[in-house]
Amino acid sequence: MFCYHCQEAKKNKACDTTGICGKKAPLSSLHDLLVYVLKGLSFYAVKAREQGIVQPRLDQFTAQALYATVTNVNFDNAEFVRLISEAVQRRNALCKELLAVYQQQDSTFEENPPEEALWQYEAIDEAAFIKLGETLTVPSLEGDNKDYHCLRETLIYGVKGLAALIEHSLVLGYEDKAFYDFIHQALDFSLTEHSLEEALAMNLRCGELGLKAMALLNKANTEIFGHPVPTKIHTDVWDKPAILVSGHDLQDIEELLEQTAGTGIDVYTHGEAVVAHAYPKFKKFFNLVGNYGGAWQDQKNQFAKFNGALLVTTNSLQQAKKTYLEKLFTTGMVGWDAIPHIADRKSKQPKNFAALIEQAKQNPPPTLLTENTITTGYGLQSLLALKDEIASAIQAGAIKRLIVIAGCDGRHKERRYYTQLAESLPEDCVILTCGETKYRFNNLELGEINGIPRLLDAGQSNDFYALITFLQALQKTLGAANLNAMPVSFNIAWYEQKTIVMFLALLDLGVKNVRLGPTLPPFFDEDILTMLTEKYALKGIDTVEADIEAMLAGE
Ligand code: SF4
């Protein structure tokens, strides 16, 4: 086993016996084999597109399968065996269609298909798949050019993050062929060695499309659920049995609220789901009563204290403790064997949450964790409504700097840095945030500047699009040449692959002095770090005091 996908890789190098996230070696091998087959599938998909052959279901499948390999999404070996066999079957069918077209033209492949495009299984056999996957670990793919290998792996993780964003929109009925085109191009690109410049360019393109994928998800969410409005959310508890929902999927939350309305069951949000409270369409549900707990890494403790039924919708699943295992359900691409899974929608009919609701009825109300309020809902429209006030405050010197502290939360104690940073920033700084990093500081009383809150939370990690679009609009109002000429600093807390997309998007925008923490990715070697430092002034985090001083100086 070798996995260094995420910020919590063992000793910031790689998980090599079992994953800190709970991923076991056999599952890691199945992930590696699935990515191997998807690369071969993309070899044909790129050539098929040149011939005008596009299979929409194959494109969606590719994104869904990649998304399943994102950290903390799916731990079910059987699901990966199914995905690998489906990938091979879809790849073979596409190859056959492509060869038929070539035959008509009396031509064939310009280059021999790689082994990723040729491998066939003798039988659908989990043990055999695992054995083959063991030979396909990341180091085994290294080749002679270690630096290229680093950028190729960065691209693969970026594409996995992009695939997650694509899937979040797809479940709402929104998609864009350009994203699938790029996924196939990137996987096909990874099959052969390229120059570092070419590999960096592909990574930047991944960042560019990642921001566009966030824009599409923003369009989907706001067209269906309305534009989020700033909303104060209670974190205390009520006296009814309840369901706790964790993850990004707003449609799951809506259907669950419809099915629980009038049943005496309350619904609470957890983690990234908190932003649901800010969307107008959810305001009519009186049984959406509050947010319980914080970020994903605290779920073992918080799920146990919640007492009621639990639903994980898009990612951030951890191995369940016995104390709440029988109350836990998954849905969508999330899964763990032995945890009941709520099936997908069929023919646009809502999911059936009856088993989850029944489970909730049998349990006592939640145990109180905290009794404060948190505020979210500064989505794009709400941020733009504040733009002129913020511009005036900057021009008058009342706001000295905007500090973007966005991304994921995680287990490492070094993440206390983000709390201390928010506490220690001078009172003339405003924090812009999104994603679960906010749970490090969204309970602080940070006050206001001329009526402008010093903490503006856009919502989920994909709402990074709202922050960037707002900053670009502010840039125009202030007459700044680009984002680097603005009084803004980016301090990105990464954990999994969607934050890699966030980071690549900033590089694509040419943003310099981005801080990436709490540790730099283990898949950047010294040479790549030097390259990114020279080109983009990329930084890790330092002490809070040193970073504040540097950020205020525009570094
Ligand atoms: Fe380790 Fe992260 Fe990979 Fe899990 S996803 S095995 S924690 S590097």
User: What percentage of the chain has pLDDT greater than the value 90?
Assistant: 97
Distance from residue 117's CA to the centre of ligand 1 (Å): 27
Mutual angle of helices 196-225 and 146-170, in 10-degree steps: 10
pLDDT digits (tens, 9 = 90+) for 74-128: 999 999 999 999 999 999 999 999 999 999 999 999 889 999 999 999 999 999 9
| Cα–Cα distance measured from residue 510 to residue 533, given in angstroms and rounded to the nearest whole number | 13
* pTM for the predicted model, two decimal places: 0.97
Mean pLDDT value of segment 212-233: 98
Distance from residue 534's CA to the centre of ligand 1 (Å): 29
pLDDT digits (tens, 9 = 90+) for 447-486: 999 999 999 999 999 999 999 999 999 999 999 999 999 9
Tell which one of 7, 11, 20 to mutate to probe ligand 1, the residue whose CB is within 8 A of the most ligand atoms: 20
User: What percentage of the chain has pLDDT greater than the value 70?
Assistant: 100
Ligand 1: nearest atom to the Cα of 19: 6
Is the pLDDT at 201 greater than 90? The verdict is yes
Q: How confident is the model at residue 547 (pLDDT cuts 50, 70, 90)?
A: very high
8 Cβ below 6 A of ligand 1: yes
Is the pLDDT at 7 greater than 90? The verdict is yes
pLDDT score of 316: 85
pLDDT score of 168: 97
> Can you tell me whether residue 123 is helix, strand or coil?
coil
Distance from residue 71's CA to the centre of ligand 1 (Å): 7
pLDDT digits (tens, 9 = 90+) for 258-307: 999 999 999 999 999 999 999 999 999 999 999 999 999 999 999 999 99
Q: Mind listing the domains of the chain with CATH numbers?
A: 10-223 (1.20.1270.20), 231-361 (3.40.50.2030)
Ligand 1: nearest atom to the Cα of 20: 7
Is the pLDDT at 336 greater than 90? The verdict is yes
Distance from residue 517's CA to the centre of ligand 1 (Å): 16
5 Cβ below 6 A of ligand 1: yes
pLDDT score of 438: 97
pLDDT digits (tens, 9 = 90+) for 403-458: 999 999 999 999 999 999 999 999 999 999 999 999 999 999 999 999 999 999 99
Using CB atoms within 10 Å of the CB of residue 204, give its burial: 0 to 12 exposed, 13 to 18 middle, 19+ buried.
middle
Q: How confident is the model at residue 246 (pLDDT cuts 50, 70, 90)?
A: very high
79 Cβ below 6 A of ligand 1: no
202 Cβ below 6 A of ligand 1: no
Is the pLDDT at 144 greater than 90? The verdict is no
pLDDT score of 327: 97
Distance from residue 32's CA to the centre of ligand 1 (Å): 13
Is the pLDDT at 215 greater than 90? The verdict is yes
Tell which one of 10, 11, 21 to mutate to probe ligand 1, the residue whose CB is within 8 A of the most ligand atoms: 21
19 Cβ below 6 A of ligand 1: yes
Is the pLDDT at 143 greater than 90? The verdict is no
Instruction: Answer for the pair 270, 316: CB distance below 8 angstroms, yes or no.
Output: no
> Can you tell me whether residue 27 is helix, strand or coil?
helix
Is the pLDDT at 141 greater than 90? The verdict is no
| C-alpha triplet 229, 232, 235: angle, nearest 5° | 140
23 Cβ below 6 A of ligand 1: yes
Is the pLDDT at 198 greater than 90? The verdict is yes
| Cα–Cα distance measured from residue 490 to residue 29, given in angstroms and rounded to the nearest whole number | 35
pLDDT digits (tens, 9 = 90+) for 163-190: 999 999 999 999 999 999 999 999 999 9
Mean pLDDT for all residues in the chain: 97
Instruction: Answer for the pair 353, 57: CB distance below 8 angstroms, yes or no.
Output: no
DSSP per-residue codes, 212-271: HHHHHHHHHHHHHH-----EEEE-S--SS-EEEEESS-HHHHHHHHHHHTTTT-EEEEEG
Ligand 1: nearest atom to the Cα of 7: 2
Which amino acid residue places its CA nearest to atom 3 of ligand 1? 3
Distance from residue 175's CA to the centre of ligand 1 (Å): 29
CB neighbours of residue 520 within 10 Å: 19
242: left (phi over 0), alpha (psi -120 to 50) or beta: beta
pLDDT score of 315: 85
Give the burial string for 120-135 (b: 16+ CB within 10 Å, else e): ebeeeeeeebbebbbe
Closest CA to 45 of 79, 97, 94: 94
Is the pLDDT at 247 greater than 90? The verdict is yes
> Can you tell me whether residue 483 is helix, strand or coil?
helix
User: Around 61, how many Cα atoms within 13 Å sit in the side-chain half-sphere?
Assistant: 22
193 DSSP 8-state letter: -
Closest CA to 26 of 38, 14, 18, 37: 18
